[in-house]
A and B are shown apart, each in its own frame.
Chain A
């Protein structure tokens, strides 16, 4: 766990690599085939997303490259395919492989962005609620309860629909990515706040916090310098699950038509756009991005499971 130590670099930097090399984290990773495979797949997918402009045969955002006549071509192993389009094309004639690569990019950006947003809000609220207790705690946690009693999608649909109605579809399309990050981020912060609050309550009772108070440190420094670093393990674990959830939420929103516009498709909007053609036999437009989405969410969840097992002190200290 030394990898996560957010300490000021000091004389121990040289030994930090050694610490990591000897850590239980690395040891258990070396022995867990599923974790290794998941990480490999995940890295490949992230690399593909990042390198999409160089990897993709065409740019699906560039209308000039799209050939409407080449629409609904099947992937290469099906009769009637065009070797130029390996995974076939969608209804607008975009190369499906390129669109998936760009879509993966959008999905990952929204997933990570939303989680960063949730984490910032949730960690701050959780720290405040747990450390200060009393009325602040009661207020923030009731707020979280209320927030959680609406489903994420419901909040997102209302906010998204309102935005679309007020500012119009064009503005919505232009700001779709930050807006989705905001919506999903706002909808899910209670998950973080609750987890952080629980571990702050556990840490707050420990004597090193008393020692810091006796020293005369201010509450803010105690919260961020002393307590927060000790609650990072559960934050990491929950983050993996939340990234997967955020990606799925985005896909669901896009599927409902409140997510990414079809001109800059995410995996979700790709699935949606293909859904209309599934009756006419063009199953690949929906199925292939669907598979990519499933694999992405699966490997993130598998990694999360592994991380939870490793970071659970009960399992490895016992």
Chain B
């Protein structure tokens, strides 16, 4: 699967327009690449840390100055998701992968950039204007203990989205649909009168999946859907998600920190670090030949069951805080191959011979 056009790893606000024209250009150049289901261009999100106006005022050198601090959760992310694929976004905590998911679902508004779903822009729509898209895109959350309303029965939880999106359906039709999705996720449909807390973590996650499937979406964003579950339950939920994909022809944006899950589940992987995408590649390619130094370090750190104690690549220092971003390549402070160019210039995603894309000066120059 070749991806359309990820030439500009946009770095500033002005790049979104440039990025979209670039994508059109190369889209014309690669005719067989179908239009992506979801396309993200130059996405940025900053969260303010400074509170309201009065709290931003500070005395400095005898003058009253307005000071604003921001967390740069994502800085210029470009991603395309093709129909039918499972794109996994991996990275460590604070790399912005959940923010990408929440921005795509319209739970947070991006500071810059645009998101197109099936060709239509969705990032600047109001709740009401988004409603038709809500039926086509759904989300599964990380914590099954918090994602079900504790005061609603399972039946009520599952009926709500159906009633909202199919106001013309009769109560019998709604009931049938609820029974159908409950069966699909392996929850006996006569348990509808129970409350969320009467179920185990794995069952709750099944119910959350049922809620997402209830409106027959075509695209599902799954934000760490199995990381709160036990190993044996993780396997059950992953199997369920894969079954659903096959039967309903779903497209996934799957957020996770677990590379073993990615290797099994994803068709394509995007590795994120500090709010930027550093490598995108088909899963097999990425695991066979990781190109970005960060991807290499990340892969070497997975605890494996094999006999020998693997030599994992030790990274210097820790992930910098996204409040004060490093200049140039965000990874240069921990990268063993960094040079002066890495410290000054932001690397753009470039295509590799293996069919992936990587944002690294070292790879571009042939040093790594």
Direct contact of A and B (CB under 8 A): yes
A166 at the interface (CB under 8 A from B): no
Q: List 8 A-B contacts (CB under 8 A).
A: A7-B152, A10-B193, A208-B146, A208-B147, A210-B139, A213-B106, A226-B149, A229-B149
Q: Given the interface contacts A214-B134, A215-B164, A219-B127, does A230 sit within 8 Å of B151 by beta carbon?
A: yes
B142 at the interface (CB under 8 A from A): yes
Contact partners of A207 in chain B: CB under 8 A: 141-143, 146-147
Contact with B along A239-260 (1 / 0, CB 8 A): 0000000000000000000000
Contact partners of B155 in chain A: CB under 8 A: 10-11
B111 at the interface (CB under 8 A from A): no
How many Å from the CB of B345 to the closest CB on chain A?
Answer: 38
| CB contact list, A106-162 vs B, under 8 A | 138
B151 in contact with A7 (CB, 8 Å):
yes
How many Å from the CB of B191 to the closest CB on chain A?
Answer: 11
A64 at the interface (CB under 8 A from B): no
Name the residue in A7, A8, A15, A207 with the highest tally of chain B Cβ atoms < 10 Å from its Cβ: A207
B193 in contact with A5 (CB, 8 Å):
no
B281 at the interface (CB under 8 A from A): no
Please name the 4 residue pairs, one residue from A and one from B, whose CB atoms are nearest each other, closest first.
Answer: A216-B134, A12-B193, A207-B147, A229-B151
Cβ-defined partner of A206 (8 Å) among B139, B146, B161: B146
B165 at the interface (CB under 8 A from A): yes
How many Å from the CB of B161 to the closest CB on chain A?
Answer: 5
Cβ-defined partner of A211 (8 Å) among B153, B156, B192, B208: B208
A217 at the interface (CB under 8 A from B): yes
Q: Given the interface contacts A210-B139, A211-B139, does A218 sit within 8 Å of B127 by beta carbon?
A: yes
B149 in contact with A217 (CB, 8 Å):
no
B302 at the interface (CB under 8 A from A): no
Contact partners of A230 in chain B: CB under 8 A: 149-151
Question: How many chain-A residues does the 8 Å CB contact rule pick out?
Answer: 25
B260 at the interface (CB under 8 A from A): no
| CB contact list, B120-139 vs A, under 8 A | 127, 130-131, 134-135, 138-139
A216 in contact with B130 (CB, 8 Å):
yes
B141 in contact with A210 (CB, 8 Å):
yes
B243 at the interface (CB under 8 A from A): no
- For chain B, what secondary structure do more than half of its interface residues adopt (helix, strand, loop), or is it mixed? loop
| CB contact list, A1-60 vs B, under 8 A | 5-8, 10-12, 15
B306 at the interface (CB under 8 A from A): no
Contact with A along B260-277 (1 / 0, CB 8 A): 000000000000000000
- For chain A, what secondary structure do more than half of its interface residues adopt (helix, strand, loop), or is it mixed? helix
Q: Given the interface contacts A207-B146, A211-B208, A217-B164, does A15 sit within 8 Å of B139 by beta carbon?
A: no
How many Å from the CB of B77 to the closest CB on chain A?
Answer: 20
B107 in contact with A213 (CB, 8 Å):
yes
Cβ-defined partner of A215 (8 Å) among B134, B142, B153: B134
Contact partners of B72 in chain A: CB under 8 A: none
| CB contact list, B155-213 vs A, under 8 A | 155-156, 160-161, 164-165, 192-194, 208, 211
How many Å from the CB of A211 to the closest CB on chain B?
Answer: 5
How many Å from the CB of B296 to the closest CB on chain A?
Answer: 33
A8 in contact with B156 (CB, 8 Å):
yes
Alpha-carbon distance A12/B143, docked complex (angstroms): 26
A11 in contact with B193 (CB, 8 Å):
yes
Q: Given the interface contacts A208-B149, A210-B139, A216-B127, does A7 sit within 8 Å of B134 by beta carbon?
A: no
B105 at the interface (CB under 8 A from A): yes
How many Å from the CB of A313 to the closest CB on chain B?
Answer: 11
Alpha-carbon distance A10/B105, docked complex (angstroms): 32
A216 in contact with B164 (CB, 8 Å):
yes
Contact partners of B127 in chain A: CB under 8 A: 213, 216, 218-219
Contact partners of A218 in chain B: CB under 8 A: 127
Alpha-carbon distance A230/B160, docked complex (angstroms): 17
Alpha-carbon distance A10/B171, docked complex (angstroms): 13
Alpha-carbon distance A178/B102, docked complex (angstroms): 49
How many Å from the CB of A240 to the closest CB on chain B?
Answer: 21
B52 at the interface (CB under 8 A from A): yes
Contact partners of B151 in chain A: CB under 8 A: 5-7, 229-230
B164 in contact with A208 (CB, 8 Å):
no
Contact with A along B51-95 (1 / 0, CB 8 A): 010000000000000000000000000000000000000000000
Contact partners of B107 in chain A: CB under 8 A: 210, 213-214
Alpha-carbon distance A7/B130, docked complex (angstroms): 28
Alpha-carbon distance A10/B153, docked complex (angstroms): 10
Q: What residue of chain B has the Cβ atom nearest to residue A205's Cβ?
A: B146
Contact partners of A214 in chain B: CB under 8 A: 105-107, 134, 138-139
B148 at the interface (CB under 8 A from A): yes
Q: A12-B193, A210-B141 are known contacts; what are 19 more A-B pairs with Cβ within 8 Å?
A: A5-B151, A10-B156, A11-B193, A206-B146, A208-B146, A210-B102, A210-B139, A211-B148, A211-B208, A212-B149, A212-B160, A213-B127, A214-B105, A215-B211, A216-B127, A216-B134, A217-B160, A218-B127, A219-B127
Contact partners of A208 in chain B: CB under 8 A: 146-150
Contact partners of B161 in chain A: CB under 8 A: 215-216
A12 in contact with B153 (CB, 8 Å):
yes
Contact partners of B102 in chain A: CB under 8 A: 210
